[in-house]
């Protein structure tokens, strides 16, 4: 009987804590997102007069918004241990960041571990599923200039054209440096079986913890953001001036990021919001 009461008490505490966390985050969103939009609305004259300064300020506020999301995991004891190459020295250079994808919590994990990577977050462009456009954070991402991509064969070709147009319109104009995409094209649990069948058919490695990447968006990014020489090799300068008037070097790096959850149990956004899982260390490897 005492054990049942003790178990019920612990469950009640977890539920109460989850409700308090949810209300706290609801207040966060109700204040932060309208504030972000209002400040940018008031700064529209600056956008006309001095566009680079406007987008610099927007980037700073965008990074603050991501820090707010990161704090939700931090206060629940969800932390990150980083391995591999130190990417901070290249935070001011242009890079394509490819990340394995297991759950909606992957984005939150990236938001947390990239906070101390210089100006990477505030000058970052995200490629994400179009469903995120309809979330509470969708408006912020739309203003920031992120790209929402639709999945499926019926949309694939058109989406790649839209992506190329989007990059040409927003990437250089807003002085973006890092561009993040999930080349697997979906969650591991949904893609693994198809990936393994494709690998078997084409004599490729049998993968359990990641899936084979889909190359469409990656190829568009490389062709659009890297200068092509006559022999087809990638050049070192795009010829597009940045806000200081100097030529941009174009993409210089591909950063391979692998997120690993303990016991292969990915954390989704619900876990970050309600905090019902015990404190967890997520491992992130850079190459």
Query: Is 169 exposed, middle or buried, given 0-12, 13-18 or 19+ CB atoms closer than 10 A?
Result: exposed
Residue 178 pairs in a beta bridge with: 95, 124
How distant, in Å, are the alpha carbons of 113, 161, 216 from that of 158? 33, 5, 11
pLDDT tens, position by position, 76-120: 899 999 999 999 999 999 999 999 999 888 998 999 999 999 889
The domain limits of the chain are 2-286
What's the pLDDT at 275? 85
b/e burial code for range 234-251 (CB count within 10 A of at least 16 → b): eeeebeeeeeeeeebebb
**Whole-structure pTM value:** 0.85
How distant, in Å, are the alpha carbons of 160, 274, 279 from that of 13? 48, 12, 16
pLDDT tens, position by position, 1-44: 555 545 556 667 778 888 888 888 888 888 999 999 999 999 99
- 10 Å Cβ neighbour count for 121? 25
């Amino acid at each position: 009987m005492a054990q049942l009461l003790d178990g019920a008490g612990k469950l009640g505490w977890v539920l109460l804590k989850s409700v308090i966390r949810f209300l706290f985050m609801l207040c966060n969103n109700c204040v932060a997102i309208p504030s972000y939009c209002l400040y940018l609305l008031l700064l529209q004259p600056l956008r006309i007069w001095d566009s680079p300064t406007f987008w610099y300020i927007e980037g700073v506020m965008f990074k603050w918004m991501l820090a707010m999301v990161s704090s939700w995991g931090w206060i629940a004891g969800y932390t990150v241990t980083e391995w591999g190459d130190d990417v901070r020295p290249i935070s001011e250079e242009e890079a394509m960041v490819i990340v394995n994808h297991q759950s909606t919590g992957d984005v939150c994990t990236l938001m947390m571990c990239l906070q101390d990577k210089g100006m990477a977050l505030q000058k970052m462009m995200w490629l994400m599923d179009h469903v995120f456009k309809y979330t509470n954070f969708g408006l912020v991402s739309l203003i920031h200039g992120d790209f929402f991509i639709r999945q499926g064969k019926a949309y694939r070709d058109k989406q790649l054209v839209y992506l190329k147009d989007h990059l040409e319109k927003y990437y250089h104009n807003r002085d973006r440096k890092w561009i993040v995409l999930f080349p697997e094209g979906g969650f591991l649990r949904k893609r693994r079986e198809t990936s393994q069948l494709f690998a078997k058919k084409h004599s490729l490695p049998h993968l359990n913890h990641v899936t084979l990447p889909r190359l469409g968006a990656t190829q568009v990014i490389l062709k659009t953001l890297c200068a092509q020489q006559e022999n087809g090799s990638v050049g070192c300068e795009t010829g597009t001036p940045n806000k200081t008037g100097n030529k941009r070097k174009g993409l210089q790096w591909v950063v391979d990021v692998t997120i690993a959850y303990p016991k292969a149990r990915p954390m989704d956004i619900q876990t970050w919001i309600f905090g019902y899982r015990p404190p967890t260390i997520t491992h992130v490897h850079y190459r």
